[in-house]
Amino acid sequence: MQPDPGGGTFIRARVIARMAARMAHEDSFGRGPLAELRRLDPSGALADVALHRLLARHVPEARLAQIGLPAWALVIHAAALAAPDSLAFPPRASEPPELGKQAEFWAEAVRGARQRFGRELFEAGYGEGRFAILLDASAEALPDALPRAVRFLVAKGRRLPVLAIADLVMSSDEPESEAGKSIRQGIARGYFRAEAKAASPQAQTVSGDAA
């Protein structure tokens, strides 16, 4: 995977949100293609028809080559595991029409998605040990670790912030870079803030009252 130049995150987030929006509409996307993407092996041959059709419609060739097919395949596979009902992403209508404000909108959406991913994992009961393994996973280990986490979330009735998993996957070659650290720190912040909130006296009082 080649480094993502300035502005790349904004474009990538928009592309991924639009792909997720398509997968969230199972009737129009098709149950067969969605099932194919769920079965996809991100470490395999990557000759799947549904994968390449989705990429051809949404991802410019230059960006596909820059980031790499395996990374795109893993993001799409993870999104498909949560589709159609458990995907979380900014709707297209919420993007501001002003070009100058669009990058700011998507940057904020990505930051929020990182923290939400951590929070969703904690609230689903994803253990700290498994959470640490997920954040520490190398590019080689992530194709196993990430789908497991996504399946866990979906099984617990939680939603998957797709922009956050795209960040995690597409920084996995350089997790110690400033961008890689920022992504993982954002996800960790969401997880441990949710833990702190759950452990606060106010939360415990509310829980006791509800019981």
What predicted TM-score, i.e. pTM, was given to this entire model?
Answer: 0.89
In the predicted structure, residue 3 carries a pLDDT above the cut 50: no
Burial class of residue 105 (count of CB atoms within 10 Å of its CB; 0-12, 13-18, 19+) = middle
Say how many CA atoms lie within 13 Å of 113 toward its Cβ: 24
pLDDT at 108: 96
CB-based contacts of 151, cutoff 8 Å, min separation 6: 81
In angstroms, the CA 66 to CA 37 distance is 22
pLDDT at 92: 86
Res. 175: pLDDT tops 60: yes
Mean of all residue pLDDT scores within the chain: 90
Q: Which of 82, 62, 58 has the alpha carbon at shortest distance from 150? A: 82
Provide the residue count of the chain: 211
Render pLDDT for 136-173 as a digit per residue (tens, 0 to 9): 999 999 999 999 999 999 999 999 999 999 999 999 98
Question: pLDDT tens digit string along 10-39?
Answer: 889 999 999 999 999 999 999 999 999 999
Partners of residue 160 on adjacent β-strands: 87
Give the pLDDT score at 31.
95
For residue 57, pLDDT over 60 is answered with yes
pLDDT band at residue 176, thresholds of 50, 70 and 90? confident
In terms of pLDDT, which residue wins out, 6 or 209?
Answer: 209
Give the dihedral of Cα atoms 136, 109, 11, 37; nearest 10 deg. Answer: 60
Tokens describing residue 139 = 């590019």
Residue labelled with tokens 């080559």: 65
Which of 29-43, 93-107, 168-182, 195-209 is the most confident on average?
Answer: 29-43
Section 85-102 average pLDDT: 92
The tokens describing 31, both together, are 């149950």
Domain positions in the chain are 8-89+98-198
The confidence score (pLDDT) of residue 21 equals 96
Structure tokens at 188: 């960790």
Looking at the chain, list the stretches that DSSP marks H as alpha helix, in order from N- to C-terminal side: 8-23, 26-29, 31-39, 49-58, 61-67, 69-82, 99-124, 128-136, 142-155, 162-170, 178-199, 201-210
Percent of the chain with pLDDT over 90: 78
What's the mean pLDDT in 75-91? 97
Residue 203: pLDDT band (50, 70, 90) is low
Other C-beta atoms closer than 10 Å to the C-beta of 91 total 9
We find that the CATH architecture of domain 8-89+98-198 is Orthogonal Bundle (1.10)
CB half-sphere exposure, 33, CA atoms < 13 A:
20
**Two structure tokens written together for 34:** 């969605």
